[in-house]
Structures are given as C-alpha cells and as structure tokens.
Structure 1
C-alpha cells in the first residue's frame, strides 16, 4: 500500500506549482481529483517549447499523472453544490486562484471548512493573499526578478541572469507539498484542519537562506565579477569552462593544488579564503583557469582533477542525461503507456520509500475523463449525471477535446 492511500486530494490549481504539488501526493497513493473547467485546465491549451501531443500536450502530461479528472462549471450553482459534496469526502484542497477568486466562486477556506471542519486547505499565491503586490501576476520569471537571485550570477555590467528552469514554480510546489503533509500530520494527531498559505515570493526568498543571511548578517553585498563566475558568494574558480573538446564544470578547488595541476605558480601561492573571495583576484583566477583548460579534453582534465580530489564534472544536455549510467541505475525516469500519447517517458519518483513506494496508478487523464465515475461514487444516478451534462454543469470525455 502507498503511504498516502486512503487520502483524497482535490486539485483545483492550474499551471505548474499547484498541479506539481498535487502530483506528488498522487505519486504517494492519494486519490487526487483534478477539478477543472468543462473546457479543461489552462495548461491543457498552452504548450512548453511548442511540444503539442496528440490530444494532451506535454506540459499538461508531465504534471498530471496519478489523477482523475472531474470537469465541472463552478460558476453554476449546481456545479458548486457538486464540489461541496466532494469536499465532504476529501482531506486536502489545493488552489492557486488569483486573490479573491476563490471567495467569488464560493470555494474559499471559510466556506469549505463549514462543510469539512478538518479539511487541510492549501492556498497558493504569487505574492501573498493581501498587500501591495497581491494582484500582480505570479509568474516564475517575474518572481525570480524580485527575489534577488538573478544578481548572484552572471557578469558585471550585463543583464541579470535568470534560471534555465521554472525554479520558483518547482520550489513552491515542493513547499506546498511539504505544508500539506505537515498539516495532515497535525490533523491526524489532533483532529483539526487548517489553512496553509504559500506564496511564491516568500518561497524563493527562503530558498536563498544562506545567501540572504550572508547579506543581512554578514553584510556582504552581491558583487558580480567581470568574468562569468558561477555565484557571487562562492570561492573562485566556480563555473563552466571550455575545454579542448567540450565543457567542464569546476567547483571551488584548493587553489595551491589547482595551481600545481595547471602549472600556474600564482595560483599555487594563493590562499583560498582570502584570494578566492577577493573581486579582482576572482577575475584573475577565472581567466587563467579558462585559458589553461582549453589545452586538454574534458576527460583528460577530469582524470587529473579526480586524482587530486578536486571537484569537476562534464556538462550534459538532456540527451546525455537520459542515457547517463547513474540515472539509469537510479531508475530516475519511468515509462508508461498512454491511450492517446503512446509510450511516455518522464521523470519518476524522487523519494524512495522502503515500505510504501511511489507508483504510477493512472496516466494523465483527459478532460473530465472520470466525471461519471466520481459522481457515481458520490451517489448521483445516471439520470442526474445526464441532466448535469445537459445543462453544461459537467462534461465527460475520452479524449475527443483537443488542445487549443
């Protein structure tokens, strides 16, 4: 049995952070019901990288496995009544509506806790439920720009450097997942439900716990170098360098040892803590390292660095990642068959439980694929379900609604 078997989660979220958090609960065995509009959640109609699937685009496919889909119009009274009936059977409710929308739809915490007093209600927002930024769009790159993180990397005098991943969305998802689990632990020991509020701005700032404290407590400002040093608070050299045949990453090596390997006497005479943090020395260290590393292949340097205990790595693209022997050994990716998308290969389960393993229980659903099934579980008759479909309160499909 999976660790969250027996718990029901209502996923009323869109885009990445909320669905990703709910996916994690589904991977651990929870019955996750994706409550989406009758036309389908927004992410069904918006691709990443132009990667459209046959019916379900890959963005949506990646974030919504191990869920059932209930397509319902919450703007209709009958639709809200249906959801309330479902809330009464649920343990966790996740939403990331814009501030005020949940209340207008009648699915805010104060309303739902009257139906299910021990409900764990996870509310996700961009900047907080209230305050001067509450109505701003909570998009990943916008939050990166406000977090300070972009000025910890890159070159002085050049534009701030964004992450290559949707890092704020991903960290927010894991934080929401963590918050939901903690609240369930509290509920299971006390019987009390509660409101769990997560905002992306707080999350990405908290994720910089070390860097922020270096600034607030250590009073060290962010000072980017003239060279593309990997992080403004990390000892040089720290970054990616071109070699004779590709690229290599080198991480804060012991400077005297590095000087010996590269045959650079100036490095061999340096002190890590003093010279590695000094701005002008940091640029010198980066430049001389860059010039020397061009002389040999990545593997040749890797062998030399490994022999001396210095930290380095080759640089992978996705093609190399999926073929990497450690990735294969770890079973990092899973494969499963999808009725419309064929063979799906996707990152699997990052947490390994010895007794309650995560598993794939169901592929990503079509819009409203499980509407009939869920309503039947709630006690609706076939005639009532048909009537709800007739009024447009709910929909049920098996894949015929394609992405927009």
Structure 2
C-alpha cells in the first residue's frame, strides 16, 4: 500500500511540470485520473528529441505512469459535468491552464470548490495567476533566461548558457508536488480545502536562493571570466576539464594540494579563498593545461584518493551502466501494452513501509474512460451514448474507440492548448 493510497487526484495538466507533480502523487499510491481531450494530451503528439513510439511517445511515457486516462471534451456541457462528478470524489485537482481558461471552462477554483469544498486545488502557471505577464506562455528556456540563471555559467563574451535539462519545469513540478502534500496535510488537520498557486518564475528564483542572496545581500554581481567556468559565484577550479582520453569534473579543490598533485608550484602558492575568485581565469588555465597529461581514470584515482572532489563526465549510456545507479534502482522497467518494455527514471524517494511502485503504465487516450465513468454511476448505455456523441474517447491496446473512430483518435496533433507550457521539439 502506498503512502497516498485512498486519495484521488484529477490531473488536467500537460507538458512537464503538472504531469510530473501528478505522477509523483501516483507513485505514492494516489489514484490519478488524467483528464485529457478526446484527441489526447498535446504531449502525446510531439516526440521530444525525435523519440517516437508505436502509439505513445517516450516523453509522455516518462511523465504519466500510475495514471488512468479519462478522455473527455471539456468544452461540451456534458464533458464539464463529467469532470465535476469526478471532482466530488477527489482530493487534489491539478491544472496548468493559461490565465482565464479554467474560468471559461467552468473549472476554476470557485467552481470546483463549490462542488467539493475540501478539494486541494493546485494551479500551475508560467508567471503567476495575475500581474503583467500572467497571459504569457511559460516555457522552460524562457524562464531560465528570465530568472538570471543563464548568466552564472560559461565565458565572458559567449552567449548565455542554458541548462542541459528542463530544470525550471522539473523544479516547478516538484514544488507543486510538495504543495499538494502540504495542502493534504492541512486538510487532514483542519478539514479545509484550499487553492494553491505555483508558478515557474518564482520556482526558478527560489531555487537560486544562494546565488541571488549573494547579489541581493552581499552586493556581488555575476561575473563571467575569459575562461569557461561552471558557476560565477564558486571559486576556481570548477567545471569540466579535458583529459588525455575524455573529461572529468573538478569542484573547488584545495589549491595547495591540487598544485602539488598537478606539479604546479604557482597553483600551490595561491590562496584558495581569495585567489580562487580573483584569479579564477589563471587557475582554470593552469588546470586546463595540466590535465591532458593523463587519462581520466588515472586522474580520478589520484584525485579521489587524496580527497579531492572529482568525478567522471557521463553520457546517458554511462549513467544507465553505472554500478551505483544500478544499485539504487534509479530506473524502473515495466511492460506497456503498445510500447513493449519501457525503462524510465524511477522514484527519487524511498519509504520503508509504503514504497513507491509502478502500478500501471502510462495510459492510452481515454483508456480508462469507461472504467472511471462506471465508478461514477454511469450505465453502459450512457457511456456508449457519450462515445457516439464525441463527448468522451476510450482507446484500448487494440482499438481507438471514439465518435470519429481510430483515425481521429490520436494520429493528428490537436491545436496548441491554453496551458502554461509548451512541448519541446
């Protein structure tokens, strides 16, 4: 039994932040019902990185395990009423529509709380629910740029450096996950539901608590040097350096010790806390010149046995083969009815009494529409009528059961939705 067994979550989000938050709740045992259009969530139709699947692409698989899919037309009165029926049975409601869209659909906090006052309603946006940027679409790269984070790495004169992962999406998703848990805890103590708002801009700012405080409290501006450097506010050497056969990462070693190991008296004579900042380019240049003399493995053996923070620079293939990653069970593998054997990143938490597990694979479009509606009391005849009218869709591994048949049930990408994020190419 999972820690959230018995709780129901309604997930009306797309892209990454909202689906990630909902999946984490599902990983902990919650019954997550993903409410998506009858043509399927937008993310299903955009193969991130070019990774296409048979009927479900890799990016969708990575963010939607442990969910059931209810495919419904929210713009129809019948579809909205179905969702409100579901709301009456739910504990958490997650959406990431752009400002004003939830209200137009009749699914804003006021409308949802009128049906279920105890609901924990989590609204995710790019910049906030109101204010001058409220209607702007939130996208990871744009928020990285606006948050100031891109000026923390790289070399003076080079373009700003974005992260190699969807960092703001991930941070926002975990903030929404934490907020939902806190909302449930508050409700357990008081019986009160509430509205919770999470936005990508605040999330990107909050995760830079140290960096922004160095500027806001200490008055130290961001300063990139002439040599590549991993972080403007961290002393040298700090970053990835070429070796004889590859690269290694080196983080803030004692300069006296590093100078001795590298055979550099000049480096050994420097003060790490003063020179480490003021002579950053010189230090980086010395290290860059010395490390190609040996292989990565030779340097790592020497540096690590002397207590210096150094490590390999991995590709994704290296990550998946690493013995610690395998020991931790960092990836999960399960069978999917249309995609076969699926391996994706797993659970970043461990529970001794209520472990996370994959209870169900990422669903097809509306795969559980019949199941969910039957739980709400709809008869088989009623469900058939809703399918015929196009109010819902219900795919299975063999067929796509909609009003328009399989041809329109997921092969053509729908129009861009009114959500906080955008699917990455």
TM-score normalised by the chain length of structure 2: 0.94
Measured in 1, the distance between the counterparts of 2:188 and 2:342 equals 36
Asked whether 1:291 is paired with 2:289, we answer: yes
CA offset digits 1:238-266 (Å, max 9, x no partner): 01000001101110000000110111111
- 2:131 aligns to what? 131
Maintained 8 Å contact 1:371/1:394: yes
Structure 2 residue aligned with 1:354, among 352, 355, 359?
352
Measured in 1, the distance between the counterparts of 2:385 and 2:114 equals 28
Shift of 1:403: 4.4
User: Does the residue aligned with 1:141 lie in a helix, a strand or coil?
Assistant: helix
Maintained 8 Å contact 2:18/2:96: yes
The aligned runs of 1:317-396 (5 Å cut-off) are 317-396=315-394
- 1:220 aligns to what? 220
Measured in 2, the distance between the counterparts of 1:207 and 1:77 equals 41
- 2:141 aligns to what? 141
Shift of 1:402: 4.3
- 1:187 aligns to what? 187
- Structure 1 gaps of 5+ residues are none
User: Does the residue aligned with 1:343 lie in a helix, a strand or coil?
Assistant: strand
User: Does the residue aligned with 1:156 lie in a helix, a strand or coil?
Assistant: coil
Measured in 2, the distance between the counterparts of 1:156 and 1:391 equals 60
CA offset digits 1:324-350 (Å, max 9, x no partner): 000011111111111100000111111
CA offset digits 1:261-312 (Å, max 9, x no partner): 111111111111100011xx10000001000001001111111112211110
Measured in 2, the distance between the counterparts of 1:368 and 1:148 equals 40
Structure 1 residue aligned with 2:303, among 302, 305, 310?
305
Aligned residue-pair number: 402
- Runs of 4 or more, structure 1, over 3 Å off, are 399-404
User: Does the residue aligned with 2:310 lie in a helix, a strand or coil?
Assistant: strand
The aligned runs of 1:2-401 (5 Å cut-off) are 2-278=2-278, 281-399=279-397, 400=400, 401=409
- Structure 2 gaps of 5+ residues are 401-408, 413-425
Measured in 2, the distance between the counterparts of 1:191 and 1:113 equals 13
Measured in 2, the distance between the counterparts of 1:28 and 1:288 equals 49
Measured in 1, the distance between the counterparts of 2:137 and 2:75 equals 22
Measured in 1, the distance between the counterparts of 2:198 and 2:72 equals 25
Measured in 2, the distance between the counterparts of 1:121 and 1:74 equals 18
CA offset digits 1:345-372 (Å, max 9, x no partner): 1111110000000011001100000000
Measured in 1, the distance between the counterparts of 2:125 and 2:343 equals 31
Measured in 2, the distance between the counterparts of 1:181 and 1:247 equals 41
User: Does the residue aligned with 1:49 lie in a helix, a strand or coil?
Assistant: helix
Measured in 1, the distance between the counterparts of 2:320 and 2:114 equals 48
Greater displacement, 6-15 / 259-268: 259-268
